[in-house]
Structure 1
Amino acid sequence: MDKHTLAKEIYNTAHLDGEFKLRSGKVSNEYFDKYLFESNPKILEEVANYLSTLIPEGTEILAGLEMGGIPIATALSLKTGIPAVYVRKKAKEYGTCKLAEGIDIEGKNVCIIEDVVTTGGQIKLSAKDLKEYGAKIKYVLCVIDREQSGKENLDEAGLVLHSLLTMSDLKAATAITR
């Protein structure tokens, strides 16, 4: 599948029309349900194929952020053989009390994996937490950059964002058929 077709598939799968209350409390007549494209094995496989080419050289661990980054990191791990860890928003308070579940991240070059980046706020928090556990983090990969200051905010935090697609790419891919 070429990248234009993938963008069209993602948009057509995840874009919903209706009435939706957003996290901000505002009401919107459209919604982008990212879990719909992440749970589609055909689309997820294509996403992994494309994203695998963007993984920075020297990456030792892929860190999938809770919750949307986890399926992407898993698919990338299967595609590349690079181990994955699954990063909680906060360390669990029982058992191992881990923030990052899986292989040890201390001293390793870790690339954060996220599905959709809006402002980058949670990525910055998670990167800080992972660094406190000894991870070396410089890069973030995402499927979709919503183009709402995420790239700039991450850059200010010393993180480099590479995205497969932007929201503009998704809309452009469907403009011909809509």
Structure 2
Amino acid sequence: MTDPDLDPTLAADIDAVARLHGTFTLRSGQVSDTYFDKYLFESDPRLLDRIATRMVELLPEGTELLGGLELGGVPIATIVSAKTGIPVLFIRKKAKEYGTAKLAEGPSFDGKRVTLIEDVITSGGAVRDAVNELRPAGAVIDTVVCAIDRSPVTGESLRDVDLEIRPVLTKAELDAVAQS
């Protein structure tokens, strides 16, 4: 099912720029013949702006902080922050071992509602890791907004950590424009 609010050319434009064909090992360990190279759409200022604009519409009410996941979620979260005025938290894959030794850089998130921002979700491993670290430290996290949900069953890959996925695009939507 296609989202009626979807920019009709966004899926086609992202697909044309970022879909690669070949043999790719994903972060999850899965092997795929299709890869969506987030850096190709994140490095295009017009596409990045269009993705961020759509993400603004997907943010849950009451979001107090945006959590950009390293590395791909950081540029998107920064643009969404600039559009909304909601402060951004930069979330590392692992806490650095020097300086502040923090997993998340930016304002305090204890007791705050944090909406995570991610680029591409397949199994949700990076998001799951962040949630499992940030919730015990006081973050209230119930939603992740992503550019592309390429999980086998849209929106289901993070049910085990009680997280709603709100994608700008799904793999099915991108596949549909690739076949047209």
Q: TM-score, normalised by structure 2?
A: 0.89
Equivalent residue letter for 1:10? I
Pairing of 1:28-177 with structure 2 (within 5 A): 28=33, 30-149=34-153, 151-176=155-180
**Please, which moves more after superposition, 114-123 or 52-61?**
114-123
**Please, which moves more after superposition, 37-46 or 145-154?**
145-154
Secondary structure of the 1:48 match is helix
Match of 2:25 among 9, 12, 22: 22
Instruction: Give structure 2 stretches of 5+ with no counterpart.
Output: 1-5
Secondary structure of the 1:111 match is strand
Aligned-residue RMSD, C-alpha: 1.8
Secondary structure of the 2:8 match is helix
Structure 2 CA distance for aligned equivalents of residues 82 and 57 of structure 1: 12
Q: 1:47 Cα deviation (Å)? A: 0.5
Structure 2 CA distance for aligned equivalents of residues 120 and 55 of structure 1: 18
Describe the shift of the 1:153–1:32 C-alpha distance in structure 2 as closer, same or farther (beyond 3 A).
closer
Q: 1:20 Cα deviation (Å)? A: 4.1
Q: Which residue of 2 aligns with 1:12?
A: 16
Match of 1:3 among 3, 7, 11: 7
Structure 2 CA distance for aligned equivalents of residues 25 and 166 of structure 1: 18
Q: 1:150 Cα deviation (Å)? A: 6.7
Structure 1 CA distance for aligned equivalents of residues 137 and 153 of structure 2: 27
Describe the shift of the 1:89–1:49 C-alpha distance in structure 2 as closer, same or farther (beyond 3 A).
same
Equivalent residue letter for 1:132? P
| Cα-to-partner distance string for 1:18-74 (whole Å, 9 max, x where unaligned) | x4442448584x432111001110000000111100100000000011111111101
Structure 2 CA distance for aligned equivalents of residues 34 and 101 of structure 1: 22
Q: Which residue of 1 aligns with 2:3?
A: none
Identity of aligned residues (%): 46
Q: Which has the higher helix share?
A: 1
Contact 1:116 1:142 in 2 (8 A): yes
Contact 1:107 1:135 in 2 (8 A): yes
Describe the shift of the 1:134–1:12 C-alpha distance in structure 2 as closer, same or farther (beyond 3 A).
same
Structure 2 CA distance for aligned equivalents of residues 21 and 166 of structure 1: 19
Q: TM-score, normalised by structure 1?
A: 0.90
Contact 1:118 1:145 in 2 (8 A): yes
Q: 1:174 Cα deviation (Å)? A: 2.9
Report how many aligned residue pairs link the two structures. Answer: 173
